Structure 1
Amino acid sequence: MIQLQETKKEILITAEMSGKITKKGIEKIHPLIHHIIDKGNKVDFYFELENLRRYKLEGLWEGLKVDTAHLSDYGKTEFEGNKKWQEWAAKAMDLFTDSEVKFFDLQEKQKAKEWIGQ
């Protein structure tokens, strides 16, 4: 499940992700990306991963399609979680994009918010 959070930073998409990530969840984020890039800005992300179990196959596929289409549109991406595989996923994403990608432990919430500028 993806639950979008409010933010005061115009170019930042903030979401809490838990349970299973589905195609429907990813589809909530895609129009927000276009809203930001249509104004000529890069998109920053703040993703809090708590109790995230897995992607459903169609959710993973939808996420990959969105990311592939917008890799050059991303600025900073921050993942906050408590699982080693989440940290590895963030490092893998960093290899395929020019944007800055960082992982923070859930206990480093304040440090993560400062880094993303929230």
Structure 2
Amino acid sequence: MSVQRHGVSIGLERTDGEFFLTMHVRGKLTHDDYQSLVPMLESAIEGVAHPKINVFFDATEMEGWEPRAAWDDLKLGVKHGRQFNRIAMLGNRRWQEMAARVGSWFIGGEARYFEDETEAMAWLGEDA
């Protein structure tokens, strides 16, 4: 019998019109994960004229996306992509580096892959 671990931890902080979203994923991201994340994010940025979102995405325990969740991710990028300033993906697999590159095509800011959390957080803290 194999054990499949799944979980998503989400944190969201706001300072004026700037938002800091943190995500830690275990296993595969699912459509249900996006059903929780998207309304929370949209509710937070509602009424903010020009929200600026920085994201720390810990994918070190992530195994990928379900197909429907990948579609949800694309829709999120198309709808709110201009509002994403920087996305730092912390990972340990080659496909994650490619995912960060592809993800940057769908946002107004930058997405980068990191293997060191300190470097990722430093980059997110820089003025863009």
TM-score with structure 2 setting the length: 0.78
When Rg is computed on C-alpha atoms for both structures, the one with the higher figure is 2
Unpaired stretches in structure 2, ≥5 consecutive residues: 1-6
Residue in 1 aligned with 2:67? 57
Distance 1:75 1:38, change over 3 A: farther
Deviating 4+ runs (over 3 angstroms): 5-10
Instruction: For residue 33 of structure 1, report the CA deviation from its aligned partner.
Output: 2.6
- The structure 2 residue matched to 1:68, chosen from 63, 75, 78, is 78
Identify the residue that residue 25 of structure 1 maps to in structure 2.
Answer: 33
Task: Using the TM superposition, give the Cα deviation of residue 24 of structure 1 relative to its aligned residue in structure 2, in angstroms.
Answer: 1.2
- Give, in angstroms, the shift of residue 69 of structure 1: 1.0
Which blocks of at least 5 consecutive residues in structure 1 are unaligned? Answer: none
> With CA pairs under 8 Å and 6+ residues apart, which has the higher RCO, 1 or 2?
1
**What value does the CA root-mean-square deviation take over the aligned residues?**
2.1
What's the CA shift string for 1:62-89, capped at 9, x where partnerless?
Answer: 1111111111111111100000110011
Q: C-alpha separation between the residues in 2 aligned to 1:11 and 1:101?
A: 16
The number of aligned residues is 116
Distance (Å, rounded) in 1 between the aligned partners of 2:33 and 2:73? 9
Q: TM-score, normalised by structure 1?
A: 0.84
More helix by share: 1
